[in-house]
């Protein structure tokens, strides 16, 4: 039951953080939804750092992983919104916005996981 509460708490905090980012950075004037992109890249960085730090320390409680990685990052990052936004690009024939958004999301997101893992090693 404690595990479920930790995931619930982290997920709620992550979802609120993503919502606030979206309010601030997503608008129809930008070609790319920067709020969603930033949430996914930051979430990738955080999850890389959390798992890297846990692996390095070998004594960190599973509770931190549940709260931060499963909960917060799960609520903060959003594949469903990313997929929907790309659907809108396709629907509108806006390939010049879709292709960079896809490329940046995948490349920078994966690079952010590696950066998070690297940063955890430095600590």
Give dist(CA 70, CA 90) in Å, integer.
31
> What pLDDT sits at residue 59?
73
Where in the chain are the domains?
2-122
Instruction: Calculate the CA 118 to chain-centre distance.
Output: 17
> For 104-119, what is each residue's pLDDT tens digit?
999 999 999 999 999 9
For the chain, report the end-to-end CA distance as a whole number of angstroms: 32
* pLDDT score, position 61: 83
Residue-wise pLDDT tens digits, 20-67? 999 999 987 778 899 999 999 999 999 999 999 998 988 778 899 999
pLDDT above 90 for 86 = yes
Which pLDDT does position 33 carry in this prediction? 93
What integer pLDDT is reported at residue 28 of this predicted model? 75
Question: Average of pLDDT values for 70-75?
Answer: 96
For residue 41, which of 100, 122, 95, 115 has the smallest C-alpha distance? 115
Residues 6+ apart with CB under 8 A from 121: 52, 56
pLDDT over 80 at 96, yes or no: yes
Q: Residue range 4-29: average pLDDT?
A: 95
Torsion of CA 62, 68, 69, 72, to 10 degrees: 140
State residue 22's pLDDT score. Answer: 93
What pTM value is reported for the model? Answer: 0.91
């Amino acid at each position: 039951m404690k595990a479920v509460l930790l995931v619930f708490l982290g997920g709620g905090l992550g979802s609120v953080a993503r919502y606030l980012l979206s309010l601030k950075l997503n608008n129809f004037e930008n070609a790319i939804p920067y709020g969603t992109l930033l949430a996914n890249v930051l979430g990738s960085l955080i999850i890389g750092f959390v798992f890297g730090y846990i692996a390095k320390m070998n004594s960190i409680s599973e509770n931190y992983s549940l709260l931060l990685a499963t909960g917060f990052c799960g609520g903060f990052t959003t594949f469903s919104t990313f997929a929907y936004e790309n659907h809108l690009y396709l629907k509108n024939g806006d390939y010049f916005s879709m292709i960079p958004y896809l490329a940046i999301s995948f490349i920078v997101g994966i690079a952010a996981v590696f950066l998070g893992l690297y940063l955890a090693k430095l600590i």
